[in-house]
Structure formats: structure tokens, C-alpha cells
Amino acid sequence: MWVKALDMVLEKMKASGFDFSQVLALSGAGQAWLCLQQQHGSVYWKAGASLALRDLSPDRSLYQQLQMCFSISDCPVWMDSSSTAQCHQLEAAVGGARVLSQLTGSRAYERFTGNQIAKVYQENPEAYSQTERISLVSSFAASLFLGSYSPIDYSDGSGMNLLQIQDKVWSQACLLACAPNLEEKLGPPVLPCSVLGNISSYYVQRYGFSPECPLVTFTGDNPASLAGMRLDEGDIAVSLGTSDTLFLWLQEPTPALEGHIFCNPVDPRHYMALLCFKNGSLMREKIRDESASGSWREFSKALQSTEMGNGGNLGFYFDVMEITPEMSGRHRFNAENQEVAAFPGDVEIRALIEGQFMAKRIHAESLGYQVMPKTKILATGGASHNADILQVLADVFGASVYITDTASSACVGSAYRAFHGLAGGVDMPFSEVVKSAPKARLAATPNPGAAQVYQALLPRYAKLEQRILSQKQSL
Ligand SMILES: Nc1ncnc2c1ncn2[C@@H]1O[C@H](COP(=O)(O)OP(=O)(O)O)[C@@H](O)[C@H]1O
Ligand SMILES: O=C(CO)[C@@H](O)[C@H](O)COP(=O)(O)O
């Protein structure tokens, strides 16, 4: 599906008259042609696939030539949470969750690729042994353009529970705990702004790319978004896509039992922190369909017609098992902290959006993050088109929200990273590369009185979250 989608996008661009010879350099974010921007997903290349990649004939589509090249046809993606047993095994093998987090930046998470690979190996050892190379979605996409296997970059590689984030090498203990001969199937990891080589002659002959067009390492959607949003210290980026993610630029790694530390995608000396909330846009869409007749306009009207603080009503909406924190189901509480079965439609909508943003603030603060007077929130992703959602974000955080002209920060970040690679990579500071890029635009400022309302609500939300979690544990 992914290979065919790339064929389709390139064919459409060609049909529209796009001049491929003008492309100076190419990078990407495990994404682009399918709205499939993600981290953690893995692709399994069958023995012999490297030859098919190398010898692509420009007369035929990629799909025609590559469809037999994979040992696993349904690739695990980030939404998979079925590898709990492998997570326990990995933590036990390295000496516990805290040790794993110190080493790789995260305790074991089901979607992290090492645990997914371990599951593939345990459940389908034959397919695993037929695999000559395992790519992340990002390095897979780069491989298609390169005509040979692309290495995994440090930043996307940090989402695997396999990379030692300080030393930037695969952890032998983690590799061993996941599957045999894994190091040779992954290849050595590389700097995020490395030039991998020039584009494969397939694209030169079939689409008219320049034979000198270099490929700069692809990375995950969140690292690419960090590049696209050009964060300053103290700023926080909130991506409101399929998942909601929150990320910060860090000078020093501070791994904990919640959240993730990744190698920074544009500065090899630094890091980024990331929190991922699985119940993002899909949950908002469900509540929109149930309580706002499927219309974002009606959804916005409900936010406009309800007060900040929602009359004390609070809600937790996790139709799929949440990642931060591990919790599922819908839980609604009235102003007296009594659990109730339902809310009127407009109260439901505000409870969802306030709850989602309170969770983000509480979990970011538990990682040591503090809202400061100069804090900017940079919003991106599909829901950042919605001004009323951004207003609630500004109110809950007590900080101004900014957006860039495009909500597709992962795509823009990939273009900046391509330019960074072209301009010399680590020898040139990333801030130089983006210095003439357009500034972010102010989209929402906190309403008067917001700070008092949410100072009271945030501790209530945190206590109710704890209550639900302890009820779950006692079951
Ligand atoms: N006006 C809107 N209000 C709220 N959400 C929106 C609006 N427009 C689009 N979205 C949401 O944006 C989501 C897609 O976000 P996007 O960042 O493109 O996804 P991904 O994270 O998969 O790349 C859709 O699922 C949709 O629910
Ligand atoms: O798992 C994570 C981050 O750790 C997700 O953020 C994925 O990277 C995909 O996100 P969407 O772009 O589909 O929301």
C-alpha cells in the first residue's frame, strides 16, 4: 500500500507538470504520500530485496517491482499495543524500567519498535529469519528513493527502545533481549542531517529528477515537526494530529518513567522530550459525530457557548487504551466529583477539550516543564486549524498559542532538514538554515480569568485521574 501510494503521488505530480529537476535535495518524515506520518512502525525486507531495489527498471512502477520484497505484509505501526509481554521481557532483561529509560530514553512501550520486532520474531520466526533488513517507516521511505537500504537516524531510532541515546549506538543488551542477529538487520544508525547519497537513477529516468539530487536522512514525524516549528528554549509544541503529541527541546536528557527522550533531529548535542496521547483527533471526531452532528462548526459553537471551567464538569475520554497515562474508557464527573453517566452535548464537547489539554499540562509538568511568562505554545496538526480548540489550549496553559502558516510542520521540517543537509549538516547551525523562514502567527491568547479557573481545576483533574487509575489497579 505504501509503495503503491508513492507511485500514485509521483504520477500525479508528473501529470500536473511538476518540474522534478528543480528539487535540490530530498528528505522526509516516514510520511508524506499517505498522510501517514509516524514513528515506531517497521518494514521487513525479504532476503534479496536489496537487489530488486538496486535494479529498478524505470519502465515499471515501484509497486510492480517491489511487491514480493517483504517478509511481513502487514507492517506493525505506532497504534499497535499488543506487545506488552515483550515489553516486560525487555525491562526484565536490562534490569528494570528505570534502567531501560536511562539507557534508551523511555521505559518499554508497546509501540516502540524493539518490542514489535521481538513479537514478530516470537510469533513468526520463519518470516523473521527470511528478513535481511528492518527499516523504520522513515528509513523505508528513504530506501525507496535511494535504491538501497537507508540507515536509521538517531532521532527516529530513539523510538525503538534499542538505541543508547547518549552514546548513539545500538544497545547490545536490548538487541539481545529482542531478537537474534538484530544488529545486522538494522544497520548502523546515523546523524539525522547526514547526506545518504544521490537519488536512485529510477527517479531520474522516470520522473526527471537531477542525478545530483542528494537524499538527507529521513526521520519520524515528531522530530520532523520539531524542525518545522523552530522551537526556542521554554517553548512547547503541541501537535494535534491523529495522536496528540507534546514536545520540547532539551539541552540535557532527563529520562523518566513517563514520556520519552529522543536524540534531537537538528542538533546532535541536544535532545527532545515527547509525550504521546493516543486519544487525539479520532476521539474528537467521535464526540463531534455524537454531540455536534458530525460538524466542526457545531463543535466550535459548543465551545463558544460554554464557560471556561465547564461549570465544574470534568471528563476523561479514552476509547482506545491511552498511552499517557495507561487508562481506558469514558469517565465523567460533576462539580461535586461524583461520577455521572452522561453530559449534555455542549458540556461533553468542552469536557473533552478541556480534559485533553489539562492532561497535557499536568503530564508535561510532571516531566519538569514549567509555563513561564515568555512561554509560547506552537500548535500544529489537523486540529490546529480550529481556532476555538486553540482558545481552550491558551486558557488551560495560560500562555499564547502560535501557529505557522502551514499546519503540516512535519513536511516543512523535512524540507528544512533537506536544506540543512545540503548546506553542510552539523557544520552549519540549524538556526542559520531557518533564519529567513516566516515567523509563527499569534492564534489565541488566554482569556481574562483563565488562570484562576484552571488553577482550581488542574489539581482536581490530576486527583480524579489518580482515582480512576487506582480503581483500575484494584480490579
Ligand atoms: N477544523 C478542525 N477541527 C478539529 N479537528 C480537525 C479540523 N480539521 C481537521 N481536523 C482533524 O485533523 C486530523 C488530521 O490531522 P493530521 O495532523 O493531518 O494527522 P496525522 O497526525 O495523522 O498526520 C483529522 O483526524 C481531523 O480530525
Ligand atoms: O507514536 C507516536 C509518537 O511517539 C505518534 O505521534 C506517531 O508518531 C504518529 O502520530 P500521528 O501523526 O499519526 O498523530
pLDDT score of 475: 66
E strands within 107-178?
131-136, 163-164, 169-170
Q: Which of 192, 219, 246 is the last residue of a domain?
A: 219
Total tally of structural domains belonging to the chain: 2
Q: Which atom of ligand 2 is nearest the CA belonging to 36?
A: 13
Task: Give yes or no: residues 273 and 125 share one domain.
Answer: no
Q: How far apart are the first and last CA of the chain?
A: 41
Closest CA to 25 of 198, 180, 166, 160: 198
Q: pLDDT value at position 32?
A: 41
Q: What was the pLDDT predicted at 195?
A: 96
- Confidence (pTM): 0.92
Picking from 450, 356, 355, the residue whose alpha carbon sits closest to that of residue 400 is 450
- For atom 9 of ligand 2, which residue has the closest CA? 38
Please say whether the dihedral angle defined by the alpha carbons of residues 281, 284, 289 and 295, taken in this order, is positive or negative. Answer: negative
Q: Are residues 321 and 206 in the same domain?
A: no
Cα separation of 312 and 454, whole Å? 10
Domain that holds residue 440: 221-475
Closest ligand by atom to 289 CA: 1
Cβ of 78 less than 6 Å from ligand 2: yes
Boundary-marking domain end, from 194, 219, 244: 219
State how far the Cα of 372 lies from the Cα of 235, in Å rounded to an integer: 9
116 and 245 belong to one structural domain: no
- Domain end point (choices 157, 189, 219): 219
Tens digits of per-residue pLDDT, 418-433?
999 999 888 889 999 9
What cell does 281 get? Answer: 483527533
- 48 contacts 132 by C-beta, under 8 angstroms: yes
Best substitution site from 79, 138, 246, 276 to test ligand 2's pocket, by max atoms within 8 Å of Cβ? 276
The span from the CA of 414 to the CA of 393, in Å, is 26
Rounded to the nearest 10°, the torsion over CA 334, 337, 342, 345 is 40
Q: Are residues 152 and 106 in the same domain?
A: yes
Q: What are phi and psi of 315, to 5 degrees?
A: -140, 155
Kindly give the distance from the C-alpha atom of residue 270 to the centroid of ligand 2, in angstroms, as a whole number.
21
Judged on CB neighbours under 10 Å (0-12, 13-18, 19+), 226 is buried
Whether residue 417 sits in one domain with residue 271: yes
Mutation test residue for ligand 2: of 242, 324, 411, the one with most atoms within 8 Å of CB: 242
Grid cell, residue 360, equals: 497535557
pLDDT score of 31? 53
Ligand 1 site, residue 355, Cβ cutoff 6 A:
no
Phi and psi at 43, nearest 5°, equal -125, 135
Give yes or no for residue 242 CB within 6 A of ligand 1: yes
Co-location of 159 and 230 in the same domain:
no
Q: Are 178 and 162 in contact (CB under 8 A)?
A: yes
The amino acid at 128: Y
Task: Report the C-alpha gap between 381 and 244 in whole angstroms.
Answer: 9
For residue 222 and ligand 1, the question of a CB distance below 6 A is answered with: no
Q: Are the C-beta atoms of 107 and 115 separated by less than 8 Å? A: no
Grid look-up 531520474 returns 204
241 and 192, same structural domain? Answer: no
Cell of 385: 486549524
Q: Which ligand is nearest to the CA of 113?
A: 2
Domain identity same for 359 and 463 = yes
- Type of residue at 248: L
CA dihedral 289, 291, 297, 300 (to 10 degrees): -130
Contacts of 155 (CB under 8 A, 6+ apart): 192, 219, 220, 223, 262, 263, 264, 265, 272
Same domain as 287, residue 152: no
User: What CA–CA distance (Å, rounded) separates 338 from 172?
Assistant: 50
* pLDDT at residue 37, as a whole number: 61
Whether residue 236 is found in the same domain as residue 159: no
Ligand 1 atom closest to residue 381's alpha carbon, by position in its atom list: 17
Among 31, 39, 282, name the best residue to mutate to test ligand 2's pocket (greatest count of ligand atoms within 8 A of Cβ): 39
Residues 316 and 210 grouped into a single domain: no
Distance (Å, rounded) from C-alpha 20 to C-alpha 374?
Answer: 42
Whether residues 381 and 447 share a domain: the answer is yes
Query: Which CATH number do you get for residue 123?
Result: 3.30.420.40
Please list the ranges in the chain whose pLDDT falls under 70.
30-37, 233, 407, 475
Residues 139, 150: Cα–Cα separation, whole Å: 5
| Concatenated DSSP letters of 231-274 | PPTT-EEEEESSSEEEEEEESS----SSSEEEE-SS-TT-EEEE
